[in-house]
Chains A and B, each alone.
Chain A
Amino acid sequence: SQKIEQNSEALNIQEGKTATLTCNYTNYSPAYLQWYRQDPGRGPVFLLLIRENEKEKRKERLKVTFDTTLKQSLFHITASQPADSATYLCALDGSNSGYSTLTFGKGTMLLVSP
């Protein structure tokens, strides 16, 4: 069956360091992969989308890589700040249909300490 795995343990890092979050998947052939941020009591907020033919995507302090051979995406936050503390979700679209039926991972909580 299709499966998305994100590290269930919280990632604790110090301010200024680079945070790296992992998303692994099995039995998918996603056309693209998305990363979202979710703060407590709020809905997810879209951050970045990377397509299957893209190796890397950047947006400000964020960088996402997508390795379709390893079936893995890495999400990096450079120069992390306490305000980056949140849960980060990866989501895959494995559908060949015209609409997006995203399947979300359970998310990894990131805690950035000052």
Chain B
Amino acid sequence: GAGVSQSPSNKVTEKGKDVELRCDPISGHTALYWYRQSLGQGLEFLIYFQGNSAPDKSGLPSDRFSAERTGGSVSTLTIQRTQQEDSAVYLCASSFGGGKETQYFGPGTRLLVL
């Protein structure tokens, strides 16, 4: 089937606004991950879902960041009161069963906070 999809592909927002980023994982994949990639930086782990629960939220940079997953499928990453340092590419990945499975990445959402 289709790969991991993310929307929007690009988002420009003003400082202080809230944004929602969406991820549609590969059908049947139980594990879902969010990463952030800033210019010139590596991929930064944000949060991991197994089904609808998030056993590891350790990478979320502040309480302005939250994520949820419903129906064991779609996930939404929400950033409240955006700051300029939130500008980055937000990548979502999914894997079949978690554990040591290969992760499949989406194309990312490019967020620019003015």
Q: Residues of A with Cβ closer than 8 Å to B?
A: 4, 31-32, 34, 41-46, 49, 89, 91, 93, 97-107
Contact = CB atoms under 8 A, between A and B. Distances in A.
B100 A102 contact: no
B43 A100 contact: no
Contacts of A49: 102
Contacts of A97: 56
Interface string B86-114: 00000101010011111111111000000
A103 B45 contact: yes
B31 interface: yes
B4 A99 contact: no
A98 B99 contact: yes
B93 A43 contact: yes
Kindly name the residue among A43, A46, A101 whose own CB sees the greatest number of chain B CB atoms within 10 A.
A43
B103 A100 contact: yes
B43 A104 contact: yes
B13 to A, nearest CB: 20
Contact of B91 (A31, A43, A105, A107): A43
B102 A46 contact: yes
B42 interface: yes
A31 B100 CA distance: 9
B70 to A, nearest CB: 20
Contacts of A89: 42-43
Contacts of B103: 46, 100, 102
B108 to A, nearest CB: 6
